[in-house]
Amino acid sequence: MKGNNTMQKGETSNGVEGMTVIVKTIASWVKVLIFLFGINIVLFGHLTPGGGFAGGVILASSYVLLMLAFGRKFAEKNLSLPLTSKLDCFGAFLFALIAILGFAFGGVFFVNYLVKYSMPLRLISAGTIPLSNIAIGLKVGASLFLVILSLSIFRLDASNKEKE
C-alpha cells in the first residue's frame, strides 16, 4: 500500500487495504483482548452484569476492528460471509433448541430443566442460563458482523464507480 495521491475530497484510503503500520500493529494485539473480554461477559452472564446481548456486540466489535485496520479482504479471508451467516443461524437454532428441550424434559416450554443438577454461585450453575447466554452471544455477534460486512461490500460513492 504505497502513497495514494489520487484521492478526491472525502475519499478514504482505507477501503480495501487497511490502515497504516502503527494501527495494524496495535490492532493485532488489542483485538485478542477485546475478543477475550467479550467471551468473559458472555460466559459469566449469570454472575456479573452483561449477558448474551452485550457480550455478543463486543465479540462483533473485535471483528469490526480487524476489518477496519486490515481491510475488508483480510477480514473476509479470516471469517467469510457464508460462514458468518451459518454461525448466526446456528446460534438462533441453538437457542430455540434449548427452549424445545425444556418442553421435552420438563413438561413446560422453556423451563429451566438443568437447575437441579447445579450448585449456585459457581461458573457452571443456574441450569440453562449460561447455555442460553452462549447461544445468544454467538447469534448477536455473528449478526452484527454480517451486517457490517455486507454494508462494506456494498458501498457506493457519489460517482457510482467503485464498490468500496
Partner 1 sequence: MSVFYILLVFSVVAAIIAVETKNLLSSIICVGAIGVGNSIMFLFLKAPDIAITQIVVEVLGLIILIRATISRDLTFITGEREFFGTVVSVVVIFIIFLAGIKVFETLPAFGTPIFVKLPEVAAQTYIAKGLAETGAANIVAAVILDYRGYDTLGEATVLFTSIIGATVILRKKAKKLLDATDE
Q: Which residues contact 101 (CB under 8 A, 6 or more apart)?
A: 113
Task: State the minimum distance, in angstroms, from the CB of residue 1 to partner 1.
Answer: 18
Contact between 7 and partner 1 per CB under 8 A: no
Residue 7, CA distances (Å) to 3, 11, 45, 63 in order:
10, 6, 46, 27
Contact between 150 and partner 1 per CB under 8 A: yes
Contact between 71 and partner 1 per CB under 8 A: no
Binding mask 77-106 for partner 1 (x = CB under 8 A): --------x--x---x--xx--x-------
Contact between 138 and partner 1 per CB under 8 A: no
Contact between 144 and partner 1 per CB under 8 A: yes
Contact between 62 and partner 1 per CB under 8 A: no
- Size of site (CB under 8 A) for partner 1: 63
How far apart CA 33 and CA 130 sit, in angstroms, is 21
Our CB check for partner 1 shows the closer of 60 and 75 to be 60
Amino acid at 68: L
State residue 60 phi and psi, 5-degree precision. -65, -35
Out of 2, 3, 6, 9, point to the residue binding partner 1 (CB under 8 A).
9
With the C-alpha atoms ordered 76, 81, 82, 85, is the resulting torsion angle positive or negative? positive
How far apart CA 138 and CA 55 sit, in angstroms, is 9
Out of 31, 42, 45, 69, point to the residue binding partner 1 (CB under 8 A).
45
